[in-house]
Amino acid sequence: MEKFNSKIPDGPLARKWTKYKASVKLVSPANKKKLEIIVIGSGVAGAGAASALGELGYNVKIFCYNDSPRRAHSVASQGGVNAAKNYQNDGDSVYRLFLDMIKGGDFRSREGNVYRAAEVSNQVIDHFTALGVPFARDYGGTLNTRSFGGVQVSRTFYAKGQTGQQCLLGTYAALNRQIKKGTVTMYPRREMLDLVLIDGKARGIIARNLITGKIEKYAAHVVVLATGGYGTIYYLSTLAVNSNGSAAWKAHKKGALFANPSFVQIHPTSIPQLNEFQSKLTLMSESLRNDGRIWVPKTKGDKRPANEIPEEERDYYLERRYPAFGNLVPRDIASRAAKERCDAGYGVGKTGLAVNLDFMDAIKKQGKKAIENKYGNLFDMYKTITGMDPYEEPMRIYPAGHYTMGGLWVDYELMTTIQGLYAIGEANFSDHGANRLGASSLMQIAADGFFILPNTISNYLADEIHVPKISTDKPEFEEAEKSVVEKLNKLISIKGKQTAASFHKRLGKIMWDYCGMIRNKEGLEKAITLVNELKEEFWRDLNIPGTIYELNPELEKAGRVADFFDLAILLITDALNRNESCGAHFREEYQTPDGEAMRNDAEFAYVAAWEYKGEGKPHILHKEELKFEEVEMKVRSYK
């Protein structure tokens, strides 16, 4: 018996969302005022949802651990937002965006969800423009676009290399308007440490005030998680260092299924690790692949400066292997190709773990000014970090952990398997299958927050109008608070010698080595043993100075790392279970003779949704079969 129902509406693909919206239950304005909603997370997904729900008239409380919503990780998005506007008249359409996403995700996502994401994309651009996002414009004043990986049209709207920052600022303005109106209350520097269920429904949270350490209780009719992805499980990643998977993990432990945890995106164009002391990697946006050409020397171990290697001695390996898409192949393919070249001894730089991203041709053709206009801030960032000037010599890049396609399982309404608990944005698994195409996260998180959730949530809340304001005096809140305090006490009383960050770093290395870009059965099994050993050492030798009831960043980190150990085991288990290669999940045993991913549609065309059964007990796997009625599952080719 399945634990879930994906609730995809019947009828033709292009009519599903329209039909859903026309038949969904509504809540009258008078009743909306009586209903309370908690949103955790103030990135574009969470702040977008809170502002839209506030505008509708609900009472919203929004929480984040940052000191300001403006510092949510979304601020780091660089390259752009996809939409099917077809301003370029280059053959784009909602249907083509849908096809690109389904193919890009290697046929491991739901047709209904993906089509809706493509359909809502156009509203997203209009909305951001209305919020004042300064998207780049062409000479005639029309919004300009560029191309991202895995597509042959130009559909990415951008604001230099700071698109996420501008989108978050626009969203923040919308949020502030609601805060001023009194529909939304903002709680910064609060970390949700548990979810409270009453009679099986999500009814509130336990949070720690990160300034005072006080444990606080908040109640509502529904809870929305917009808590981002868990890519920092690799320690070194392109994400904000504080990004983590704990909120999703707490919900998972309370009954929310976790879907496709092993679908993790490794981005091909990060600045390579420079030394052992680094705690973060910096992305160089995929947009750079519009004009930058990726190459390595044709001769193994050639350590001459890039500019001294003549044209005929360079291997533009993406253009050679994938002539149809060239440097704009999807991320999973570009990442593996870079790793293959470096492993074969053609990598550049001191470590040999880098490839060139070269703008010299583009500068010659378009002029330095044109390149500066498109990517100036990224070039400056690169120069500040590496001391090398990309206007004069190629950038050096290497793959790094970046984005998690996996996340909490949600149905078409974005509700998890816990009644009244929603997950939106990167925190859910919904739209990207086994590999996300560039610039489609901002598209999805804004669609989820501003447009989809505000429509679907009323279907649930319409039946909640008779439920009076929930009190935090209920025993369920007290029990949850007690268990949070016990867990914090357990962590703080270990009194060992090692910091949480040192454990995180070692966990990240295991994950990167055995469950990163390329995986195999033997390595994954070894990783489970290594993670369990490290987890045991963590609970024996962790050191946290200070107390619970004060500002204590070490305690915050430790709680997140503790959850990462358990999430890591699930991630590896999922990777072990999926005996196929698809998208970013590449199992060495399942590849074609020319090194491409080999899917197994007969056995694995499903969403793997895992159920938590208790500490130390194996998870149970539930399979949501993926039905393809509109597209034919084909071998993904970018040649």
Ligand X SMILES: Cc1cc2nc3c(=O)[nH]c(=O)nc-3n(C[C@H](O)[C@H](O)[C@H](O)COP(=O)(O)OP(=O)(O)OC[C@H]3O[C@@H](n4cnc5c(N)ncnc54)[C@H](O)[C@@H]3O)c2cc1C
Q: Which residues form the interface with ligand X (CB under 6 A)?
A: 40-46, 63-66, 72-74, 76-81, 163-164, 190-192, 226-229, 238-239, 243, 246-247, 283, 285, 402-403, 425-427, 439-442, 445
- Distance, CA of 262 to CA of 399 (rounded, Å): 17
E strands present in 328-431: 355-358, 395-404, 407-408, 421-423
List the structure tokens of 550.
């004060």
Q: Say which residue the tokens 């509203």 belong to.
A: 123
User: Which of residues 183 and 441 has its CB atom nearest to ligand X in the complex?
Assistant: 441
What is residue 273's DSSP assignment? P
Asked if 42 contacts 176 with a C-beta cutoff of 8 angstroms, the reply is no
**Pick 112 or 149: Cβ nearer ligand X:** 149
Q: Kindly tell me which of 296 and 427 has the beta carbon lying closer to ligand X.
A: 427
C-beta closer to ligand X: residue 410 or 605: 410
Smallest CA-to-CA distance from 207 within 33, 78, 322, 61 is with 61
Q: How far apart are CA 348 and CA 157, in angstroms?
A: 32
Strand ranges, E, within 419-478: 421-423
Following CA atoms 439, 443, 444, 448 in sequence, which dihedral angle do they give, to the nearest 10 degrees? Answer: 160
Please state, in angstroms and rounded to a whole number, the distance separating the CA atoms of residues 176 and 185.
Answer: 10
If one counts every other C-beta atom within 10 angstroms of the C-beta of residue 320, the result is 11
Q: Which is nearer to ligand X, 394 or 401 (CB)?
A: 401
Name residue 206's beta-bridge partners. Answer: 194, 217
Determine contact, residues 444/425, Cβ cutoff 8 Å.
yes
CB of 496 to ligand X, least distance (A): 24
SS3 for 401-435, per residue? EEEECCEECCCCCCECCCECEEECHHHECCCCCCC
| Cβ closest to ligand X, residue 27 vs residue 206 | 206
Query: Measured from the CB atom, is 357 or 524 closer to ligand X?
Result: 357
- Exposed / middle / buried, residue 23 (Cβ in 10 Å: 0-12, 13-18, 19+): exposed
- What is the three-class DSSP state of 499? coil
Query: Quick one: 64 or 572, whose CB is closer to ligand X?
Result: 64
Distances (CA, A) of 599 to 282, 361, 590, 592: 31, 37, 8, 10
3-state secondary structure of 518: coil
114 and 161 in contact (C-beta within 8 Å)?
A: no
User: What minimum distance in Å lies between the beta carbon of 120 and ligand X?
Assistant: 14
Nearest to 43 by CA among 401, 326, 444: 444
Report how far residue 444's alpha carbon sits from residue 44's, in angstroms, rounded to the nearest whole number. 10
Spatial separation of the C-alpha atoms in residues 334 and 268, rounded to whole Å: 6
Q: How far is the CB of 356 from ligand X (least distance, A)?
A: 21
The partner residues of 415 in beta bridges, in order of sequence, read 422
- 599 included as an active-site residue: no
Rounded least distance, CB 248 to ligand X, Å: 8
The 3-class secondary structure across 142-189, one letter per residue, is CECEECCCCCCCCCEECCCCCHHHHHHHHHHHHHHHHHHHCCEEEECC
How many CB atoms lie under 10 A from the CB of residue 276? 6
Q: In DSSP terms, which residues pair with 82 in a beta bridge?
A: 156
Q: What is the Cα–Cα distance from 423 to 441, expressed in whole angstroms? A: 14
Residue closer to ligand X by CB (options 233, 442) is 442
Phi/psi at 83 (5° precision): -160, 150
Both structure tokens of 484: 């949070």
| 150 phi, psi to nearest 5 deg | 80, 10
Q: How far is the CB of 422 from ligand X (least distance, A)?
A: 12
CB-wise, 63 or 325, nearer to ligand X? 63
Least separation, in Å, of the C-beta of 426 and ligand X? 4
The type of residue at 336 is: R
Integer Cα distance of 496 and 454 in angstroms:
47
* Closer residue to ligand X, CB minimum distance, 121 or 573: 121
Smallest separation (angstroms) from ligand X to the CB of 76? 4
Catalytic residue among 110, 146, 203, 331: 331
CB of 490 to ligand X, least distance (A): 18
Catalytic residues: 331
